[in-house]
Amino acid sequence: MPATEKVSRGKDVEPRENIYLFAPNLIGYSRIILAVASLYYMPLHPRTCSLLYSISCLLDALDGYAARYLDQSTRFGAVLDMVTDRCTTACLLVFLASAFPRWSIVFQGLIALDMASHYMHMYATLAMGGSDESHKNVDKSRSFILNLYYTNRTVLFLCCALNEVFFIALYLLSFSSPLLSPGLLEQVPEIKQANPYSAAALELARANKMDSTVPWIIAIVSFPVMMLKQIINVVQLVKASRWLAEGDLEARRERKKTR
């Protein structure tokens, strides 16, 4: 079915666009397929998983460019893009929580912060700015850092890309670095007969699969940007909460006036 089909209305024939088949949305579907494939390989195949996951993330920039170039920006596409971002990052963090159980509360907190800040920001934009308002239209008076983050494409790309790069580096370290996962130091004979799908068996299967030098360098370089991204998430959550609270106060004042 083509992206544009003709619909007859009386004597006129006018084109009816199929939003689902817009080029940016097709790219979005491919991102989902690549992300699911990366999750399949995630437990035991770090190189294949990292390649698929990275391509999925890089396509995030391509679909936005395609939407602007082809004039195919849609609300469906924007939500599809955001949901894909949130879900893929959350899935990777879930794996990291299982790979590094003593740090699981940190990864759980990062998932909660990411989901909460974006949901609150999106809801506040729709409730206070109207249904036609984009969540990326943040006035400087509301937040300078959010305005810079959402309106400067270079800043947005670098923050999102290096944030994911940091988590990919941690993922690779789960296959290589005994400093983060003590179980990788040596093979434990008594665990060899464990359930092949148990956490212990999977950790043994991951042990010493790759050198840790490059993942450590990547993690160290991208760590400051990852922290900046979390600060932006906190600011986004706080600003959205305040915006909603201001709207509630205004609504209460209006109701009191009408009594």
As a whole number of Å, the CA-based R_g of the chain is 22
Q: Which residue has the tokens 């005994």?
A: 178
Please check the confidence at residue 131 and state whether its pLDDT lies above 90.
Answer: no
Q: Which of 60, 63, 81, 85 is catalytic?
A: 85
What pLDDT score was predicted for residue 180?
72
- Angstrom distance (rounded) from CA 194 to CA 202: 10
- Reported as a single tens digit per residue, the pLDDT across 198-216 is 666 666 667 667 788 899 9
Structure confidence at residue 9 as a pLDDT band (50, 70, 90): low
* C-alpha–C-alpha distance, residues 75 and 81, integer Å: 10
Strand spans (E) along the chain: 4-9, 12-17
Q: 89 CB contacts (<8 Å, ≥6 apart)?
A: 111, 114, 163, 164, 167
Burial call 204-233: b when 16+ CB within 10 Å, e when fewer: bebbeeeebeebbebbeebeebbebbbebb
Is residue 149 within 8 A of residue 156, CB to CB? The reply is yes
Q: What is the mean predicted confidence (pLDDT) over 119-141?
A: 81
Cα gap 169→165, rounded to integer Å: 6
User: What confidence score (pLDDT) does residue 195 get?
Assistant: 61
Residues found in the chain: 259
85 is catalytic: yes
* 122 neighbors 138 (Cβ within 8 angstroms): no
Residues 164, 223: Cα–Cα separation, whole Å: 10
> Residue 236: pLDDT above 70?
yes
Q: What's the pLDDT score for residue 126?
A: 85
Strands 12-17 and 4-9: antiparallel
Q: Could you give the CA distance from residue 226 to residue 162 in angstroms, rounded to a whole number? A: 7
Lowest-pLDDT choice from 63-67, 84-88, 120-124, 174-178: 174-178
Per the prediction, the chain carries an average pLDDT of 85
Mean pLDDT check: name the lowest of 32-46, 180-194, 198-212, 232-246.
180-194
Please give the pLDDT value at position 44. 85
173/46 Cα distance (integer angstroms): 10
Question: How many beta carbons lie within 10 A of that of residue 177, not counting itself?
Answer: 19
Burial pattern 21-31, b for ≥16 Cβ within 10 A else e, equals ebbbbebbeeb
Residue-wise pLDDT for 170-181, tens only, equals: 999 988 877 776
pLDDT reading at 75 higher than 80:
yes
